[in-house]
A = this chain, B = another copy of it.
Amino acid sequence: MEFYTFINIGGTIAFAASGALAGIRKKLDVFGLAVMAFVTSVGGGTIRDILIGHLPVKWILDSSIVLLIAGVTLITVLFKNRIEKLDKTLTFFDSLGLGFFTLRGIQEGIAIQLDIPSCLILGTITACFGGVIRDILLNEIPTLFRKEIYATACILGGIIFFLLQKLNVSAQIVDIITILTIFGIRLIAVKMNISLPKVD
């Protein structure tokens, strides 16, 4: 439980910081940075909740996430240079968040009895599509569709999840292995600069 809370908050902060930094690079004003931090960290879960009809979306019912993200934005604005130097720490939590949010999306799918492909889709949307909204708002073709191993890590992690479940591994262990698989694939891909192939 505390392990999940830790990852959830760490991932949210990393996603928010990356959103705010992306906004700074595009010369947004302070309000724009806050929106960027916000959509990057809760955008994926919001799309998921809309698609499955879990409305009102959770962050509107509980302002603690909003306040956390506002705080991250403020700190990113005030200590921009220092935070940019935290590159490795951010990548660490970003990758951990990627794993956790994928797991969350898969669990939401299971909770409403979706089949495996739809659960994988929900997991991937939860983890990755906040970044897609961020890139659209910043007027760029989403990185997710062009380079890096990002969604692929989520899908592979999700497949591991269902394989382990089929093998009757205990729930907690399935969760942890899933998160660590996604975390590991993502970190290796960043380190070795691996991308998906393109056509032609």
Residues on A lying within 8 angstroms of B by beta carbon are 23-24, 26-33, 35-36, 46, 50-53, 55-57, 60-61, 63, 66-67, 77, 80, 109, 112, 114-118, 121-122, 132, 136-142, 144-147, 151-152, 195-200
List of B residues within 8 angstroms of A198 by Cβ: 27-30
- Of listed A28, A29, A121, A197, residue having the most chain B CB within 10 A: A29
21 contacts between A and B (CB under 8 A): A27-B146, A28-B141, A28-B146, A28-B198, A29-B147, A29-B197, A29-B198, A36-B145, A50-B50, A53-B53, A60-B121, A60-B122, A61-B114, A63-B115, A66-B117, A67-B117, A136-B136, A137-B142, A138-B141, A139-B139, A139-B140
List of B residues within 8 angstroms of A132 by Cβ: 137
List of B residues within 8 angstroms of A26 by Cβ: 141
* Contacting pair B66 A31 (CB below 8 A): no
Measured in the bound complex, the distance between the Cα atoms of B121 and A197 in whole Å is 39
Count of chain copies: 3
Measured in the bound complex, the distance between the Cα atoms of B64 and A118 in whole Å is 10
List of B residues within 8 angstroms of A151 by Cβ: 31
Measured in the bound complex, the distance between the Cα atoms of B66 and A145 in whole Å is 18
- Of listed A26, A32, A122, A199, residue having the most chain B CB within 10 A: A199
* Contacting pair A60 B29 (CB below 8 A): no
Measured in the bound complex, the distance between the Cα atoms of B52 and A46 in whole Å is 11
